[in-house]
Structure 1
Amino acid sequence: MREHSQGNVNSQTENARTPFARDPSRRHLLRAGGMAAAALFASGCDALSTKPQAKGQQGPTDAAANAKEAPALAARVKAGELPALGKRLPTKPMVIQPVDRPGTYGGQWDLFGDSPPAGGGAEVYYEWLVRWSPDWSKVVPNVAESWEIDDDGRQYTFHLRAGMKWSDGKPYTTEDIAFAYNDVLLNKELFAAPPGYLVTGDQPARLEVLDEQTFRLTFARPNGLFLELLASNGTHVLTSCAKHYFSQFHPKYNENLDALVKKEQFDHWYELFSTRGGPQGGNGLIWQPNVPVLTAWRTTQILQQGTRMILERNPYYWKTDPQGRQLPYLDRIVRHVISDQEAALLRAMDGDFEFLSPTFYNPNLGTPKNKPVLATNRERGNYDFVDGLDSTMNKTVIAFNLTCKDRQLREVFRNRDFRIGLSHAINRAEIIAAVYQRQGEPWQAAPRKESEFYLERLATQYTSYDVNLANQHLDKAGYTQRDASGIRLRPDGKPITFNIDVITEEPTQIDALQLVRGYWQAVGVKLNLYTIDRSLYYTRKEGNQHESSVWTGDGGLRDGMVDPRWYFPANSESNFALLWSTWFTSRGQEGEEPPAAARRQMELYDQIGETVDAAKRRELFMEILAIAAEEFYVIGTVLPVGTFGIKRNNFHNVPKSMIASWRYPTPGPTCPEQYFVAPGQGGAGEDQ
């Protein structure tokens, strides 16, 4: 039996199927590059560290330094509107070590987005059972104070924090866990199938409630990746469904629900459940003001009430700094709704946002094109850059749909020489210079050099720009005949022309594809850009309607093992062969049976999910990558350089560098609850 608690954490984790394959809404782990990640954080403190504050660091110097809670909360206690702090905190609060120094209460954090984004909000909602350490090196306690794992990785016993409360003051106990698990995650009207991270051997884990603070999950087979998956993005339901609130919208607990559904003008109970803050809308439950949360801030003004949404401090938040002062330091977060990139850039240049993390929300400002402009305006805007180690391994991955509906195109796309030829036809150096401000290097869809999974052959093969070699491979593929305009002909005599889906939110991908279109035209293949919004992109993809598509290359660091979408047909994000990935995730009940090489990768991945030993898991995954190199499913273009964020100079406790990854998820593991605004400070380049 292995025990895990704060100060004694071991990231023995993993899963049998790709983590979110059974839940298509989970769109978009794991050594963050080992030495690279360690170097990245060498200049900053671990926010979860238990080490004493470094000499020379100074906290608040006024009377506020002695306050154990925000002044507004103290006033509410004095007025009899809130219980005393000691009655609001758990018996053992989680202690967060500030990155710079203890903060002062007050202030707000302004940021922006085009809406409450599907993948955004990590500054607010990252309060899972367990969490990633800031450097992405290990899983550490969070809502769960500690846990034990049996020796074969089948049984996980978790201990919640005694006395912990929801934002409305009601106790958070294993009763909420049981509701979230049995009545939400296993409810087929809410989830067609249990999320993959909870399933082994085609069976969901069995939940046992041992007492108010202790529960156990027992899997049918070993679940080696479980903790890593649990710490990653997309597992929020277990800590987000307050039974005392959600049961009023659940048929198991409300015998009058039909009348309520009718009164609220819904057709089905689960539509009402979701609208009132349920899990069907991804992380949308945190945006509802009435929903009890465990997060540092809670919504008080929803988006529909204006052009911004406001989140204010949770008076029952269960974390403190080392001096016992309740977090968060910041009073509130204001998310401004800005859909125009130029408008967002101008406001960023003016210093209107306290902190925009290296992942940047839509519209995306964190591009090589924008960095010189933002750099020039640092003094005027009173901000500086925050470096990010990007977990993506490619700016633009080109995925031919090997299972597309057009059978003739299938035959063309499945010809490996066809794919190799088109890869050699791409002038990646020109793309890097013209689109990415000379930042990046030619790269296929392969783990980054910083990753423990780096495989040179997979990363660098077929990246040379060689038109003669491209034509040789296309001729070898059998497409030697051309029409009057020079376009090669398919076996049925029609020209090889096809559409490629690209989203409007990724202008650099569109720019890159404009160049690719010319390169491919020169070797006799016609590409048509189909520029659409993200929603239509996913509708077409999920219906297998696309002929080809592009997306960024997720899975470049330790996230590659839990989200191997580009390395074999693993999940609903494997755009190059969705019918094959469906066959895999449905255990052959749906989709189409893939070729032998892909089936072998699937067998290896199943073995990874049942392997507790990390070294053995790596060995198995490297075999998957070796097969990916041989099969060459997709075409990569450019390896991203380090990304960046921006931070105002009076906004403190933000690490100088951080991981930039959706699965991390940035900036959640850096503990935003300890960020703070220092009044009266300013000036570009100020020593912080």
Structure 2
Amino acid sequence: MLNRRTVLGLMASVFAPGRPLAEDRGAEDREPAFLEQSLRSGMLPKLANRLPKMPRIVNLTAMGREPGRYGGTVRTLIGSQKDIRLMTINGYARLIGYDEKFNMIPDILESFEVSEDRIFTFRIREGHKWSDGTPLTPEDFRYCLEDVWLNEELSRGGPVTALRVDGKPPRFEIVDPLTVRYSWDAPNPDFLPKLAAAQALSLVLPSTYLKQFHKKYQDPFRLSGLMKEYQARNWVALHIRMARQYRPENPELPTLDPWRNTTNPPAEQFVFERNPYFHRVDENGRQLPYIDRFVLNASSSAIIAAKTGAGESDLQSLGLDFPDYAFLKDAEKRYPIKVHLWKRTQGSRLALLPNLNCADPVWKPLLRDVRLRRALSLAIDRREINKAVFYGLATESADTVLPESPLYRPEFAQAWIAHDPAKANALLDEIGLTTRDDDGLRLLPDGRSAQIIVETSGESTLETDVLELVTDHWRQIGIALFIRPSQRDVFRSRASAGLIMMSMWSGIDNAVPTPDMSPDQLAPSAEEQLQWPLWGAYYISHGKVGEAPDLPEAVELVSLLKRWRRSATSSDRAKIWHAMLSIYTDQVFSIGIVNGTLQPVVASTRLRNLPDKALYGFDPTSYFGVYMPDTFWLGEEG
């Protein structure tokens, strides 16, 4: 990586020279009919006054896609109200984002400049506006950092890790009316990737709107009235509720996303309508998004696949899994839908995660013994699971990066995955678990039979199907497996309390990383990590809660992660990634099973520009996000 780099919108798309496209052609043809009434009434200005002076121009023809036309409603199904966050993820409007090849490009920003990986200069598009028509200005950036992240009441733990270097927040400067700068004394390689993430680092907020809920700017009497109006216990709770961007439950909150929520919760149906000030246009000057409206209908997660197969969704991936494929493919004969299969980007579709912070005094040291973890991995017949559950279409692998990543190495994928019950038995004998009961189960040091309870979120029959096969495999080495499903929230809280000895979840989220993406998923760095929740909580809280890791290999992973955060070149980061992947797979901190599995994506036969094949995951693709759903459009039935 160069010490200094400048990235302009030209990398992302082709910009019209000199002046905005809106002035180059008749605007009449480029106004969405959906906005006609608002335009006639004067509630909205014309397109030329809604777009930035230099909008982001998406050249669909150059991308091998078809320029579209305005209109239509897309229906989709969600499992609960919280899933409206999918509109933020899939809408994928970011200050800086990834393209389909995971190159980092300016999006909301017109350009960005990085010097020494520690000085970041951002240029705002002139004339860019929030969805309510208020200007996007440097004040919105300053407010987010100084009045929210650095406010001790609103951010009790202080700024997130990506905003700290050596514990210090950035220096912030307003360079000119369109330029802001963040700088640290040392490199911060995590800063830009976090801005491009599915759950992006919040760096800009609509200050004009939100200041009415902030005690620094609002009259105390009026603020008290707002707290009563919105039934908030204090001003902090009020501001947090009204400012939530990732799960956009406040319809009044201005947004920069392609669609804005129009529905107050609680509700069974949420309607998102086009943002009339969205900053992207196609090569013909038509403002994106093409689709006018998304309607999200809440449904029981258990019947989303059935409803999708009955033609009740126009674009669906949530609530679908590979076992649904045959049913959905058959539904193509009866309804105007098409089933696509995208490759999931997880390190393992399902992984067994031994809880190294387990509270059981006997199981805790056993789970921390790498020989036990290796034995459990060697006992699993991954080929049988692949054939029985995934029709042989998956890849038997440890929980590691995929071949699509430049960091992939075959030895990581092959670490401790050979089906070798004899070696597994030998490792367990070596540990000292040599005595067995009348049922052939090994006895623990306290005389109990070796029974491992694997807890799941209970959201997928896939988990049960795989665990039933693993139960037979482990029985052959004298270990009993029992499955305990529970609700996701209960499941996670039990793990943090040490009440879970092992869980089943997916493997590492981002298995297609580049060296410049953070390797934090390989080290104890978040309390959500089920194999070491207390160590993760300790890291994320800067030692205020949780426990410091005391397993040498885990300590080394944390040390390497800190080194990555101080690194200044891609080559250094690649070396650190490889060191961490080597430790993570050799130590079997996550027992991977298969990866490269396929995700059904169901779409209306009318939907255009949706790729037939693509990568699918939370990070870094943001599910549909990097494929730009604002460019999807509805044609005639295909």
Q: CA deviation at 1:604?
A: 2.1
Deviation, structure 1 residue 488: 1.8
Corresponding residue for residue 373 of structure 1 = 327
**Matches of 1:656 and 1:264, distance apart in 2:** 45
Match of 2:22 in 1: none
CA–CA distance in 1 between the matches of 2:373 and 2:433? 12
Task: Give the deviation of 1:73 after TM superposition.
Answer: 2.0
Distance 2:432 2:113 in 1: 58
Matches of residues 305-320 of structure 1 in structure 2 within 5 Å?
A: 305=267, 307-320=268-281
In the alignment, structure 1 residue 255 sits paired with structure 2 residue 219: yes
> CA separation of 1:118/1:74 partners in 2, compared to 1, >3 Å: closer, same or farther?
closer
One of 373, 385, 389 as aligned partner of 1:431: 385
Query: Equivalences for 1:212-361 in 2 at 5 Å?
Result: 212-235=177-200, 237-239=202-204, 241-256=205-220, 257-262=223-228, 264-278=230-244, 283-284=246-247, 286-305=248-267, 307-342=268-303, 344-356=304-316, 360-361=317-318
Closer/same/farther in 2, CA of residues 348 and 544 from structure 1, 3 Å limit: same
Deviation at 1:551, TM superposition (A): 1.0
CA distance in 1, matches of 2:519, 2:500: 21
- Residue 51 of structure 1 and its aligned partner are, at CA, apart by 9.8
Match of 1:34 in 2: none
| In 2: Cα distance, 1:236 partner to 1:351 partner | 36
**Could you tell me which residue of structure 2 aligns to residue 611 of structure 1?**
567
Paired AA for residue 531 in structure 2: F
Deviation at 1:619, TM superposition (A): 1.4
Deviations 1:437-459 (A, max 9, x none): 33323211121222222232332
1:268–1:559 CA distance, 2 compared to 1 (3 A): farther
Cα offset for 1:387?
Answer: 4.0
Q: TM-score, length-normalised on structure 2?
A: 0.90
Indicate if the aligned counterparts of 2:112 and 2:120 stay in contact, CA closer than 8 A. Answer: yes
Q: CA deviation at 1:112?
A: 1.1
Q: Deviations over 1:592-627 (max 9, x none)?
A: 232333322322222222223212211121112222
1:117 corresponding residue in structure 2: 83
Taking a change above 3 Å as real, the CA distance of residues 275 and 567 of structure 1, as seen in their structure-2 partners, is closer
1:555–1:527 Cα change, 3 Å: same
> Are 1:73 and 2:26 an aligned pair?
no
Q: Is the 8 A contact 2:89 2:199 kept in 1?
A: no
Unpaired segments ≥5 residues, structure 1: 9-47, 53-63, 684-688
Change (3 A) 1:336 1:510: same
How has the CA–CA distance of structure 1 residues 190 and 485 changed in structure 2, closer, same or farther, with 3 Å as cutoff? farther
Distance 1:210 1:421 in 2: 58
Give the superposition deviation at 1:541: 2.8
Which residue in the other structure is 1:674 paired with? 631
Q: 2:7: which partner in 1?
A: 4
Count of matched residue positions in the alignment of Structure 1 and Structure 2: 617
Q: Work out the CA distance in 2 between the residues paired with 1:430 and 1:566.
A: 28
Out of 549, 574, 592, the residue aligned to residue 529 of structure 2 is 574
Q: Report if the CA contact (8 A) 1:124-1:295 is conserved.
A: no
Q: Alpha carbons of 1:506 and 1:190: their partners in 2 closer, same or farther (altered >3 Å)?
A: farther
- Counterpart among 194, 197, 200 of residue 162 in structure 2: 197
Q: Sort the Cα spacing of 1:246 and 1:542 in 2 relative to 1 into closer, same or farther, 3 A.
A: farther
Aligned partner of residue 128 in structure 1, secondary structure: coil
Structure 1 distance, partners of 2:445, 2:329, is 53
Residue 630 of structure 1: aligned partner: 586
Amino acid in structure 2 at the alignment position of 1:345: A
Compute the displacement of 1:332 (Å): 0.6
> How far apart are 1:231 and its partner, in Å?
0.9
1:145 match: secondary structure: strand
- Opposite residue 501 of structure 1, the aligned amino acid is E
Q: Distance in 2 between matches of 1:273 and 1:653?
A: 38
- Quick one: structure 1 residues 498 and 646, their matched pair in 2 at CA, closer, same or farther if it must change by over 3 Å? same
Q: Contact 1:302–1:310 at 8 Å: present in 2 too?
A: no
| Contact 2:96–2:106 (Cα < 8 Å) also in 1 | yes
The correspondence for 1:87, drawn from 44, 49, 59, is 49
5+ residue gaps, structure 2: 17-25
Show CA shifts across 1:550-604 (max 9, x none): 1101231117974546633233343212333344445555512323333223222
Shift of 1:82: 1.7
CA distance in 2, matches of 1:422, 1:670: 39
Instruction: Write out aligned runs for 1:519-530 (5 A).
Output: 519-530=473-484
CA shift for structure 1 position 471:
1.5
Asked if structure 1 preserves the Cα contact closer than 8 Å seen for 2:322 and 2:600, the reply is no
Check the 8 A contact 2:527/2:535 in 1, yes or no.
no
| Residue 139 of structure 1: how far off its partner (Å) | 0.7
In 2, are the aligned partners of 1:412 and 1:490 still within 8 Å (CA)? no
In 2 relative to 1, CA 4–648 (structure 1 residues): closer, same or farther, beyond 3 Å? same
- Letter of the 1:81 counterpart: M
